[in-house]
């Protein structure tokens, strides 16, 4: 039996990987425009980081992490999300010493042991941003705007933002009893996970995907916000309105991670099935302290690249076409072949996209290859051309052909790009 890829993973093959490159290029471009710098953290971390940072009562920590003991008997986990590792790096490398807001982005794989389905894999990929050092609600709005711009500039239609405030730990503590009074009478009708979480972290029950239809009439955390939380949340909404970013308030939106405070948000898109969330994030003012640093506020987002591609496919949005060759070289004879190899190297050194045949095929077949590569020109080099120091350059779109001095071929092809 042949060895196959693990369940929940995928091979990104030529023809598909170009779409990934287009997503990553857009992410990096937005990072540059919004003044976020790239950070790359380890794919695995000490398990304690995710237990403390993500939260022990979350699905991620309880069920989905790939955790193992290394040869030193240390508990190691593949990263299930990006924020905790970035926060650890922020603290360990003392990035908080910078006088400005620290703004970072990352692109890379995450790992969650869950049932694979459309747009959900056990090795998934995220584009994320994190901003540290300010409690300004305008920074929350900037983070939301960057994510919205990512989708909009890729050409995705109908993306909407849902926002909520999850308050502070103190606000949630006051809300806890009101929520428990609502949940306890229905405890026996809830799923096992909800029953287990009810006393430890009742707010997480509202995030349950199984029992959502039972929570009509549940008390709203928005009604329990203190003045500071209400003011912060209203300011975020005002900034989003000023930028004309479409949003709605969803009082049940709590996200699946324990570290959020104040703003929580998600991006929604239709046309990809029941799971319509394609990204999200929020503010996490206490997380840096939980990971061992000073009390530095933060806010960030994570965007799933697989789900983004799923939406692009559903909406039939093309983001990456086949890049055409500038020239395909055809040589005839041993001397011409040696010159073609030299010429190919020279053209590539000048920044041109060039290729040749390596299978010893006939000229007619090589012309077919040039067509498959969408070459703009074919350059033919035989003994006669070699003696004259020229190459026969044929434009495939028009059929026009001319002799061009070998030393001028690169410049001629570069000039043709401009027309």
When pLDDT is averaged across residues 218-229 and rounded to a whole number, the result is 89
Q: Is residue 56 scored above 80 in pLDDT? A: no
Q: Is 397 helix (H, G, I), strand (E, B) or coil?
A: coil
> CA-CA distance, 216 to 186, in Å (whole number)?
12
> Residue 183 has what pLDDT?
82
> Residue 273 has what pLDDT?
63
When pLDDT is averaged across residues 23-48 and rounded to a whole number, the result is 97
> CA-CA distance, 409 to 419, in Å (whole number)?
16
Superfamily (CATH) of domain 327-413: Anticodon-binding domain (3.40.50.800)
When pLDDT is averaged across residues 138-157 and rounded to a whole number, the result is 97
- Among 19-23, 86-90, 157-161, 255-259, the range scoring the smallest mean pLDDT is 255-259
Nearest to residue 27, comparing CAs of 389, 305, 361, 300?
305
> CA-CA distance, 160 to 194, in Å (whole number)?
28
> Residue 60 has what pLDDT?
65
> Residue 53 has what pLDDT?
66
Q: Is residue 268 scored above 90 in pLDDT? A: yes
> Residue 198 has what pLDDT?
76
When pLDDT is averaged across residues 83-87 and rounded to a whole number, the result is 94
Q: Is residue 271 scored above 70 in pLDDT? A: no
Q: Is residue 57 scored above 60 in pLDDT? A: no
> Residue 58 has what pLDDT?
61
Other beta carbons less than 10 A from residue 287's beta carbon: 27
> Residue 286 has what pLDDT?
87
pLDDT in tens, 242-254: 999 999 999 888 7
> Residue 105 has what pLDDT?
98
> Residue 5 has what pLDDT?
93
Q: Is 401 helix (H, G, I), strand (E, B) or coil?
A: strand
- Among 117-126, 197-206, 348-357, the range scoring the smallest mean pLDDT is 197-206
> Residue 109 has what pLDDT?
97
> Residue 38 has what pLDDT?
98
Domain boundaries, the chain: 17-167+225-314, 327-413
Confirm if 44 and 76 have CB atoms less than 8 A apart.
yes
When pLDDT is averaged across residues 155-172 and rounded to a whole number, the result is 92
CA dihedral 10, 16, 20, 26 (to 10 degrees): -160
Strand order from edge to edge, sheet including 377-381: 354-356, 327-331, 377-381, 390-395, 401-405
> Residue 106 has what pLDDT?
98
What's the chain's average pLDDT?
A: 90
Q: Is residue 178 scored above 90 in pLDDT? A: no
- Among 95-104, 161-170, 182-191, 278-287, the range scoring the smallest mean pLDDT is 182-191
Q: Which sign does the torsion angle of CA 116, 120, 125, 129 carry?
A: negative
Q: Is residue 296 scored above 70 in pLDDT? A: yes
- Among 13-22, 187-196, 297-306, 357-366, the range scoring the smallest mean pLDDT is 187-196
> Residue 247 has what pLDDT?
96
Residue 64: pLDDT band (50, 70, 90) is confident
> Residue 252 has what pLDDT?
82
Report whether CATH 3.30.930.10 matches the domain 17-167+225-314: yes
Share of the chain above pLDDT 70, in %: 95
Tokens 């490398």 sit on residue: 93
- Among 208-212, 280-284, 301-305, 310-314, the range scoring the smallest mean pLDDT is 208-212
């Amino acid at each position: 039996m042949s060895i196959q890829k693990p369940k929940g993973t995928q091979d990104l093959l030529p023809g598909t990987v170009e779409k990934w490159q287009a997503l990553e290029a857009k992410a990096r471009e937005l990072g540059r425009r919004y003044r976020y710098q790239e950070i790359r953290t380890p794919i695995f971390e000490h398990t304690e980081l995710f237990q403390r940072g993500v939260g022990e009562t979350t699905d991620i920590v309880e069920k989905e992490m790939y955790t193992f003991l290394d040869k030193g008997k240390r508990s190691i986990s593949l990263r299930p999300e990006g924020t905790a590792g970035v926060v650890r790096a922020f603290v360990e490398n003392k990035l908080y010493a910078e006088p400005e807001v620290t703004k970072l982005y990352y692109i890379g794989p995450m790992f969650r042991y869950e049932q694979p389905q459309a747009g959900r894999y056990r090795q998934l990929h995220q584009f994320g941003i994190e901003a540290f050092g300010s409690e300004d609600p305008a920074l929350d709005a900037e983070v939301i705007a960057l994510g919205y711009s990512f989708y909009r500039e890729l050409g995705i239609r109908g993306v909407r933002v849902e926002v909520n405030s999850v308050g502070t730990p103190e606000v949630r503590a006051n809300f806890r009893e009101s929520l428990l009074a609502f949940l306890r009478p229905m405890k026996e009708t809830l799923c096992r996970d909800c029953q287990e979480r009810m006393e430890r972290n009742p707010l997480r029950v509202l995030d349950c995907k199984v029992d959502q239809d039972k929570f009509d009439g549940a008390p709203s955390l928005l009604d329990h916000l203190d003045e500071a939380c209400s003011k912060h949340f209203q300011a975020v909404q005002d900034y989003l309105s000023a930028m004309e970013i479409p949003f709605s308030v969803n009082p049940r939106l709590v996200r699946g991670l324990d570290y959020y405070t104040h703003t929580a948000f998600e991006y929604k898109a239709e046309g990809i099935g029941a799971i319509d969330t394609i990204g999200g994030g929020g503010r996490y003012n206490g997380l840096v302290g939980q990971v061992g640093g000073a009390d530095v506020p933060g806010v960030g987002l994570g965007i799933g690249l697989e789900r983004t591609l799923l939406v692009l496919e559903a909406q039939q949005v093309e983001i990456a076409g086949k890049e055409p060759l500038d020239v395909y070289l055809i040589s005839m004879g041993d001397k011409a072949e040696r010159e073609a190899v030299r010429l190919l190297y020279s053209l590539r050194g000048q920044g041109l996209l060039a290729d040749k045949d390596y299978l010893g095929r006939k000229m007619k077949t090589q012309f077919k290859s040039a067509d498959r590569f969408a070459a703009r020109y074919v350059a033919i080099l035989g003994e006669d051309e070699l003696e004259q120091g020229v190459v026969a350059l044929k434009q495939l779109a028009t059929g026009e052909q001319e002799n061009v001095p070998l030393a001028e071929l690169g410049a001629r092809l570069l000039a043709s790009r401009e027309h």
